[in-house]
Amino acid sequence: MKPPRKSTLTPAQADLVELMQNLDFGMIEGLVIRSGLPVMKPRPRVVRDVKFGAGNGHRSETGLTDFALKSSVQELMDNFASLGNATVRRLEIKHGLPFRMQVEEVAT
């Protein structure tokens, strides 16, 4: 089975992937999820990690119109779908990919 591609994402999902690529290392905070999809307006807060003496550039995929998604990106989108409505307090990004997230949910 072929991995999903960027071209199969909704505009908001693709926007989030591009934000993660541009960030490369850091955190996205206060990302609202509605009906299982990221809400990119207003923009979530971004906190960039800068390491001195290390490459602090963008991912090589940045700017490409289409490419195969890594499994961690697909897992992130699947998690959003299962959340429905929530706020991602903090989404940690490493190498332009989702690594870990903290989610605020309404207790049931």
Taking CA atoms, 16 is separated from 1, 22, 31, 60, in Å, by 24, 10, 10, 16
pLDDT at res. 67: 87
The residue behind tokens 């963008």 is 58
What does the pLDDT average to over 5-22? 94
Which pTM value belongs to this model? 0.88
Q: Please provide the distance, in angstroms rounded to a whole number, between the alpha carbons at the two ends of the chain.
A: 37
Closest CA to 98 of 67, 76, 77, 69: 76
Query: Residue range 48-62: average pLDDT?
Result: 74
pLDDT of residue 12: 97
Contact 35, 93 (CB under 8 A): no
Query: Considering just the CA atoms, what is the radius of gyration of the chain in Å?
Result: 14
